[in-house]
Each structure stands twice: as structure tokens, then as C-alpha cells.
Structure 1
């Protein structure tokens, strides 16, 4: 009960909130379906636009993020390539400097060795020079460029002086000193200097450096190699790409970053092992071209959706709202009593059927008005008939003949015997006491029958307490309680039944008396078990098929002195127990009354046997 009350209170609260919200709405909205449709379409359009805008922002962020990641990946790749190129070149310089020819060979042999080493790497356009220190003066002793022999390195290229000093002063012969890129003819070169392993000298490996070496190769991307100060390592490298000092500083700190300036985007990343920075960039317009295409695509989709909603709204109003407005006007005319209003239409869809339904309702209303008086008279006749039936039921409940006949007969017999024995001086007092007890029993049964009839007729039947009752015992007792004349009883099986013993006894007594009254004093009554209950059968002519459906009705009787209560009471007692009582119309040897659903659901199902239902059950 508490849960139901909470649900009711919650429902009332929701209804109250709904009413308050409805009160805030303008009347033109709450009372106008067209306004509701227009608002709904507008809300859908706004939602579509909002979803499209949010989606575009998400895609835009993804495009920008992907472009930045692509730039950073390109810059990182270029930095790795430069690092690998530098490491390979340094290794070549160390390998060439480790030869023994510098200690034992002549100038011609050294020149020949340098020429062969340069020829092996000719594709890179490199030149080799052997610089020796004689009496504190550095001189080019042998070179692949014979014109340089005998000259001072600083005279040939001043940029060699610093790496030569570093390499000559190094204690480790594996040390390689590198110059900054310098102008060399139409291009630029770098010098890699490594001290020779024997003797007092160094090898200068000159490698040409061009901006093409540092290009990504993809359209729209420009790559430059910068110093830690942000200056181009090769002057013409940067092109139109502006240099961001913030990006350079981040790269010199070992981080890869992306910076957008002046309509261009560039990624900065360090070259490991050096102080150099690789910058790879491109135009913002080119990198974000996909973003522009997506933006216009979203605009086209949202515009198409809004236009479609507008067309749908127009069609909905034309084919839905207008017919509803016309139907409203005509039903209002019907409400005012004009039943001749025109409800014809040539539409065959749901609105056409709706118009037809209202037309049928109009026609039906005419006939209903004409039939109202007849229906009222019929209702009055039914009411009078119901009153007569109630009076008849009260009469049946007040009549004690039928169920009282047997105990009265038994009592009359004992009264006669008691009278004869009282006139006999030698009568046994115990016999007298027996007759008195039988009279008391008959009196108790009469009183019980009266109470049951009144209860069944006026208040309905109920079983308040049950107990295990052996079927054989209650059958025997019921048989002894009636005037069975010359009839016989047979019991085909027995079982304990959970029942109200007194009510069950009364039901069996009524069935036994019914068999004797309708078949005769020589009748044989059989009580047996079924899958779900038990039955009471006789060997009489049976019940006519046309009477099977009526035999359990109050007042139904085929005898002049019967009241029609006997079988009604039996059925009511069965239903009070939750059982079903019906007539087995397939039984060939007489009448059979079957009590079903007596033993519960764990017993074999009754359905599927040879029996057929002959009457309604307690569940119907």
C-alpha cells in the first residue's frame, strides 16, 4: 500500500509540474496544432544546425591536429636523415684518417690513396685533403685538388681553420671536428676534419651541401636547417617561410613543436648530436584545404536539411493541418445539433477514413436518438426482471424443503421409534438415548443447512478453514446421513483431500440425494478418482444435453416439488474451495459430476483425456 501511495503522489506531482509548464506556454501554442508543428520543425532545424556546427568544430580540430602531426613527422624524419648523413660522413672521415699511408707513404702514394677514396664516393662530389704540421705551420701536403698542395689551409678556405685546430689538439684520433657550411663556388660545402692515426696531421673531408638535401619532397612543404640562433645554416634555405624564435628555442631544448605565423605553419625539431634545428613548414591554406572543403560540405548538408524541413512543413500543413481544421469546424456544427453537415471527402488515406468514421458516427447518432426510448424501456424491463429474480433467490434461500427433507425424515423416524419405545415399559434406556442423540444430530444438520443456504444465497460462499479429509470417510458419512432407501454406493479409490469437511459433506449429500431423486431408489452411486480430483456418477439415464448448461443455475429443477437449490449449492461449495465442477458429457452409463483442480498443479494435467467440459468453471 505504501508503494502504491508513493506512485500516486509522484504521478500527481508530475501532473502538477506538467500543468505549470503548460501554463507558461502561450495560448496560441497550446491550442494550435499548426503552431506546435512549426515550433517542432524549428527546433529540429536548430538541433541540426547545432549538431552540424559542433561536428564541424570537431572535424576542424582533427584536421588541424593531423596537419600539425604530419608536419612534425616530416621534420622529425628530416632531422633523422641529417643526423644519419652527418654520422656517416664523420665515420668516413675517421676511416680515411686511419690509413697507414700517412706514416710510411710518399706524397704521391698519399695523393693516390686520397684520390681512390674520393673516387669511391664520387657520387657525393667530395674532395679530400691531407694537412700536415711542419715546424708549427699547417700545410696541405696531398690533395685530390692538386692546385691546393703546398698551400696553407686557411688560405684555401678560412672555414677549415677552426675544425683543424680542434682536431689537431684532440687526444683521441677518432675525434671529428666540423665546420659551419660555407660558400663554395655556386653552392655550399662543409669540412669534416679527423686527425690521422699516425703522424702529425689531419684529413679534411669536404662535402658539398645543398638545400635540396633538406627538402621533404612533398608539394607545399619547405624544409630548412637552422642554427641554434635561428639563422639559416644555408642562406637561401628558408624561402618564404618565416622563422619563429619560440619554435627554435623549443627545438634547442629537445622538444618538437608546431608554430603558426603569418598564414604559414612550421614544425621545429632538434637534430641529435648537433645544435642544429630542422624547420619544415607550408602554407596554412594548403595544409587546411580539407578543412575548407568539409566546412562547405557541412553548410550544404545543413542547408539541404533545413530546406527539406521547410518543404516537409508545407506539405504537412497542406495535407494534415488543413483537413484537421475543416474536420474541427464540421464536428463543432454537429455538436450544436446540425447532423446534416457534409463529411464527404475524396481522400483514401487515414484522413479519408477519419472523415468516413465521423460520417458513420453522425449516421449512427441519428439512429441512436431514435432508439434511445426503446433502449430505456428495455432497461426498465430488465430491471423489473432482475428484481423478480432477486425475489426468487430470496425465496429459495428461505425455503428449506429439499435439503431439509432427509434430516426431517430421519428425525420423524426416530420420533416414531422413540414413541413406541416410551410406551414399552421394558424399553432399554440406552436405546432411548440413541434416538434422542439422532434427533439432536438431525436438528444440528437442519440448522447447518439453513445457515448454508442463507449464506450461499445472500452473502456468497467462503471456505475459511480446511483440513485433510479422507475421501472414503466423508463419502461413507454422507451416504449414512441421507435416506438412501435401497440404493447402493461404490467407492473406486480413495485419497486425502484438503477441504472444509462440513461443506464437502453437504455437497456429497446433495449429489447422492439428487441421484436417488432422479434415478430411483435402486440407483447405484459410484465415487472415484480422476487425475486432478474425483467424480460422483450414477447408473441412470443421464442428463439431456440441452439441460447441461442450466443444471447449476439457481431455481433450475425438473421435479414439481424441487426448489432447484441442490446442484447450485454443490457448485458454490466447489468454487468456494477453488475447484471446478462440471458434467462429463462423454460418460455413457448415466450422469457424472467431476470435481477438478482438487489436488494442485503437481498432478498430471486433466486436459487431453476423454472428458469434455460441460459447464463453466470457477475461473470463468
Structure 2
């Protein structure tokens, strides 16, 4: 049993269809093209994988910047809320609610000293009487007792408008004497319906030099007008326009304080350009809105710094991919060259075998798959020699067997022709025909014996049927004659019975008439008319005489009817005897016929005699 050649799948068939024949005929060229495809595939996979890693890392960088911005926004929100809580605490303190300006000043001074701020980030507390238009108490001496014109218009407008605790926009203070100029202020009324306020002003430079983002990033907070409210590194940029056209502040406000985001932007065109690491460069910016304000935290990092690691990893991945492709090429060339030479030698030897040279030497010192292939071809060559010799021997045996089969077929055809002639004669009605056996073929002899047995049984049955048909014909004639006699006698009996019935009716009528005449005679005697009575009695006598004559005739007719009935009974007994005899013949014949198998039931058909009419059991 040989192994079936596996059928190529659809991909292989498609490749074979589009590959030119000159390529398919050369293993070395196919091997080179396969190596090239493998190298390209490895390179493509390596580059794709590197780009995937790079894309995932860049997305991770964006997520980290978004988280940093969100954390910074939460920190600024906490700081803003602490300031609002602080100014409210000051407004609700005892000295402030008492309204003693001297006590309020001492209280403000002590509070500022206790908080221990650096000189350049010192906040101020002011107690403002709006109705008087004065700053009646302040932690800053040059503000104490001055008019509110010392304050910035932004701050004054915030004091005069609105209600509750509120934070102002960033503004530049009009005061001098070394006081930090860029500030925001928190304003809260002392009483709900009063004109006195506590104002807490905080320098914006408080956060300069303080990292509220990544250490290698530039972080800042911009207000609702996109001015730089807080800056991590540059005081000079406070309250300056942000200037970058990246849409980050607007995106943060669309997201709201509950979420954050990040994007890649640049190169820088605004305030970021004054940061050396960001000047003219692309950057990653994370953004988030500060809760309770219109401030936006922005965290900027140079793309080179943000993606430095991933670029290094990507470059290493590309180098590794190129090195792998080169290694595949070198190894493929070495292995392919040796394998190709060995396969070419084996191909030439197999071509000599194909031409009929089975004495070709097939040997290789290799022990790998190619060496085993050489050994396999050598074994195939030896096996092929043995198979050819064996095939020649089998061919001779087959020739002898073929001659024997042809002789046997001729003998069988001769016997079959004889058997066919016998069966034809039997089918024509000659049931004395028999098949002869010669003892040379058991199967044909068995057919002949079975046929002879069958035809012998059929002959016996047909003979019985013929005998039965003769009996039926003879009995049928007797039954027909008896039936005719019975019919004729029955008709005579019927006519005699009818005549007896008619005579009885007439006798009854005559007797009735005689009775009436007797009655008339009795009546005439009673009346004394003897002559009339005698006339009636004479008539009665004549009537009775006629009745007597007819009665004798009726008795004679009855005797004739009885004789005819006896003849009918005798005929019927003969018919019954014949029928019993037919039944005795039918029973064994029926048992014999049941031994024959038929495919379907057939209705028995009776010949209609000379008229040719066919009668069935349904007639």
C-alpha cells in the first residue's frame, strides 16, 4: 500500500499559479526567494512590533501627563480651598467681629508672623471698610489706614460686587516698597449685610521654583483668559498670555474637573519658548481643570525627554530586527548552498534512474535529512530492482492464469448455451427436458441439479392439474345434465302446484255455493215451498259431484309432484357426490401448489366454453 500524495491547499495552489516555472524548477532560486521572504517578514514583524511598543509607550506617556496634570489640579484646588477657608476663618474671628481696628491689626500681624512666609512670598490681610472707603487695618503697615485706592481696581471691583467668599482674577498690585506685585485675592464679608470685608492677598510667585508637576517638565496654571496665573520656573511670565495654539486649556474646560487629558503639540510659539528645553521644540502637554475655578493646569515636557526611553527601545528593536534579518541571510546562504548542491547531485542521479540506469551509485556522507534522502533513494533503487524481477515473475504467472481463465470461460459458455436451449424447450411446454452434468464445474452442476429437481416437480404438478381438469370436465358435464333435469322437474312441480292451488280455490268456491244453496233449501222448507227446496238440493248434489271429480284429479296431480320431487332429490345427491370427489382432488393439489413462491396473487380465470367468455370469481 503506497502513501497518497497530499493535495496542496488553496494558498499553495495560488502560489504555484503565480510563480513562474523557471523559479519552480530551481531549488536554489526558490530557497533564496524563501529566505528573502522570511527576512522581509521578520523585518516587517520587528518593525511593526517596535512601532506597536512605541505607540503603546507614547500612549502611556500621554496618560502619565494627564494623571500628573489631574494631581496638580487637585493640589491647586486644595490650596485654593484652604485660602478660602482661611479668609473666612479670619472674618469670623473674635477681633474682627468686634470691629476694633487696633486689635484687628495686632491679630493680623500675629497671624502672618505665625505662618512664617519668606519675604518674597508674604501674603497680606486687609480689613476694608467699604462705606468709609478705607483700609482700616492691615498686616502690611503702608496699607494700614490708607484709602482703598491703594488696592488694584480688580480687587476693588471684586470687593464691591458679588456676595460670599470669592477669589479675584490675577492682578498687579499698585503698592511698592518691595511688595510682590502679581497677586490674587480672596474676599469675604465680615457680616452678611455689612460693608466691612476681610481681604487675603496671595503673591503668585509663591509657587515659582516649586514643582507641582514632573521634575523634568514645565508646569503652569492659566486662568479663564488664558493668562499665566502660576508658573513653575519664570516669575516674569506671570499674568502674561499663554500664547500656545494647542487648544489644551479649552479641552480641559470641556472635560471639566472630573477628568483630564494630554496631547502632543508644538513646536512652541508662545511663553514656552522662553524655557530652553522647550524653545522651538515639540512637546507633550497634560491638562486638567482646577475644581471650583476657571483655572487650568498645564504640564509640558519636551518630546525628546518624554519619549526618550521609548525611542531608545524602538531603535534597539530596529537594530535587533536588522541583525536578525542579517543572521537569517548568512545562515540561509550557508545552509542553502550545501543543501542545494546535495539536492542537485541527487537530482542528476534520479534522472539517470528515470532513464533506466538502476546501477547508479547513490551515497552521501551526510546524516541529516538530505543524507536520509540519499539513503531512501538508494533503498528505493534496490527495492525497484526487486520489484521489477518480482513483477516479471508475476506477469508470467498471470499469463498462465489468463489462459486457464479463457479456457474455463469457453467451457462455461458452451454449457450455458446447452442449459439455455433446455430452458427454452421447457418454457415452450416440454417438461420432459433435463440438464446434463459433466462434473467439471461444481457451480454449473449445482444449477443443473436444482433445475432438474424443479422441472420434475413442475411436471408432476402439471400432470396432476391435467388429471384434475379432466375430472372437473367430467363432473361438470354430469352436474350440468343433473341441473337441467332438476330445472325441468322443478318447472313441472311448479305448474302442478299451481294447478292444485287453482282447483282448491274453485272447490272452495263450489263448497261455499253449495252451503248457500243448502241454506236456501232449508229456508224454502221452513216456508213450506218444497219444490224450491228440492231444486236447491239438486243443485247442491251436482256441485258436490263436481267437487269430488276435481278432488280425484288433484290427488293424481299430487302423486305426480311427489314423484318429481324424488327425482330432484336423487339428482341433487349425485351432484353432492361429484362435489365431494372434486374436493378430495383439490386438497392435495392445493398443498403442492403452495410449495411454489410467486411475487403476487393472481385471480383464477375460468374459460367460458365455446362462447369464449371469460368468467372470474367476481361474475
Q: Same fold (TM over 0.5)?
A: yes
Number of the residue aligned with 1:42: 36
Higher helix share: 2
Higher strand share: 1
Distance 1:202 1:300, change over 3 A: same
Distance in 2 of aligned mates of 1:28 and 1:248 = 62
Distance in 2 of aligned mates of 1:204 and 1:248 = 32
The CA deviation at 1:104 is 4.3
- Match of 1:224, SS state, is strand
Number of the residue aligned with 1:108: 102
Matched, 1:193 2:190: no
Number of the residue aligned with 1:130: 127
The CA deviation at 1:392 is 6.1
- Match of 1:403, SS state, is helix
The CA deviation at 1:29 is 0.6
The CA deviation at 1:329 is 0.5
Number of the residue aligned with 1:223: 219
Distance 1:29 1:240, change over 3 A: farther
Number of the residue aligned with 1:550: none
> Which of 194, 197, 201 does residue 202 from structure 1 map onto?
197
Number of the residue aligned with 1:164: 156
Distance in 2 of aligned mates of 1:148 and 1:354 = 105
Number of the residue aligned with 1:321: 340
Distance 1:186 1:58, change over 3 A: farther
- Match of 1:402, SS state, is helix
Number of the residue aligned with 1:79: 73
* Structure 2: tracts of 5 or more residues without a match: 1-6, 256-260, 268-279, 416-440, 466-577, 602-619
The CA deviation at 1:417 is 12
Matched, 1:180 2:191: no
The CA deviation at 1:280 is 1.3
Contact 1:229-1:248 at 8 Å conserved across structures: no
- Match of 1:220, SS state, is coil
The CA deviation at 1:401 is 5.1
Distance 1:243 1:74, change over 3 A: farther
The CA deviation at 1:64 is 2.8
Deviation per CA, 1:579-602, whole angstroms, max 9, x where unpaired? xxxxxxxxxxxxxxxxxxxxxxxx
Deviation per CA, 1:418-445, whole angstroms, max 9, x where unpaired? 9xxxxxxxxx997997899699979x98
Aligned 1:519-530 pairs, distance under 5 A? none
> Which of 229, 233, 244 does residue 233 from structure 1 map onto?
229
Number of the residue aligned with 1:247: 247
Number of the residue aligned with 2:398: 379
Distance in 1 of aligned mates of 2:461 and 2:251 = 128
- Match of 2:228, SS state, is coil
Number of the residue aligned with 2:437: none
Distance in 1 of aligned mates of 2:209 and 2:400 = 114
Distance 1:115 1:211, change over 3 A: closer
> Which of 141, 144, 162 does residue 149 from structure 1 map onto?
144
Matched, 1:70 2:64: yes
Contact 1:211-1:234 at 8 Å conserved across structures: yes
Distance in 2 of aligned mates of 1:229 and 1:413 = 131
- Match of 1:321, SS state, is helix
- Match of 2:127, SS state, is strand
Number of the residue aligned with 1:363: 382
Distance 1:201 1:165, change over 3 A: farther
Matched, 1:345 2:341: no
Matched, 1:402 2:398: no
Contact 2:28-2:340 at 8 Å conserved across structures: yes
Distance in 1 of aligned mates of 2:104 and 2:462 = 162
Distance in 2 of aligned mates of 1:271 and 1:360 = 86
Distance in 2 of aligned mates of 1:415 and 1:257 = 113
Contact 1:232-1:238 at 8 Å conserved across structures: no
Query: Which structure would you say has the larger RCO, counting Cα contacts within 8 Å and 6 or more residues apart?
Result: 2
Distance in 2 of aligned mates of 1:202 and 1:214 = 31
The CA deviation at 1:345 is 2.4
